[in-house]
Amino acid sequence: MGDDVTPVEVKGIYMVSTTTGHTPVVLLTDDGHRFLPIYIGISEAISINAALHGEVPSRPMTHDLIMSILENFDARIVTVVIDDVDEGIYYAQLSIKVNGTEKQLDARPSDCIALAIRAETSVLIRRSILDDGAISKDDLDIKEMDFFF
């Protein structure tokens, strides 16, 4: 990927008001001054939030199951890259290494983020996507965002 990607921190899961109701977003930041909100589903929001807080359910949820499968097959997540956006829909690549071979898989950013947190690996994003979609800390109206959990 080279210099065209940059690491981002998962700041948290929030609810925002939209014209259709409340929607969960995962908030990413590159330096604490620029933020990129990505709208996600409720299941992914719950999963990401649980991973951020180190919560382990009594029975494995989907992302926990995927991590268990990877571990049992001696595979690991190498990188997660949010690499495209089209009409507000973000796309990502999940890079998995197994038996010395690295495989790239198309995946939703929300799933990639949930897995990256569990695998303790970085979330990367193409700089152009961050540059085009990020909002400044000053433009981030926290009053309209309530912490999800």
Find the CATH number of the domain harbouring 101.
3.10.690.10
Provide the pLDDT confidence category of residue 142 given band limits of 50, 70 and 90.
Answer: very low
pLDDT at 41: 94
Q: What range does the domain containing 118 cover?
A: 2-147
How many separate domains does the chain show? 1
| Cα–Cα distance, 50 to 137 (Å, whole number) | 25
93 DSSP assignment: E
Cβ atoms of 115 and 67 within 8 Å: the answer is: yes
Provide the pLDDT confidence category of residue 140 given band limits of 50, 70 and 90.
Answer: low
Question: How buried is residue 97: exposed, middle or buried, by Cβ count under 10 Å (0-12/13-18/19+)?
Answer: middle
Going by C-alpha positions, the residue among 1, 22, 9, 38 that lies closest to residue 134 is: 38
Q: What are phi and psi of 22, to 5 degrees?
A: -90, 135
Tell me the whole-structure pTM to 2 decimals.
Answer: 0.90
> Per residue in 37-74, pLDDT tens?
999 999 999 999 999 999 988 999 999 999 999 999 99
pLDDT at 2: 59
Residue 1 three-state SS: coil
| Cα–Cα distance, 26 to 41 (Å, whole number) | 10
Residue 33, pLDDT above cutoff 90:
no
> Per residue in 96-111, pLDDT tens?
999 999 999 999 999 9
How many Cα atoms sit within 13 Å of 23 on the Cβ side?
A: 12
Q: Residue 103, by phi and psi: left (phi above 0), alpha (psi -120 to 50) or beta? A: beta
pLDDT at 137: 72
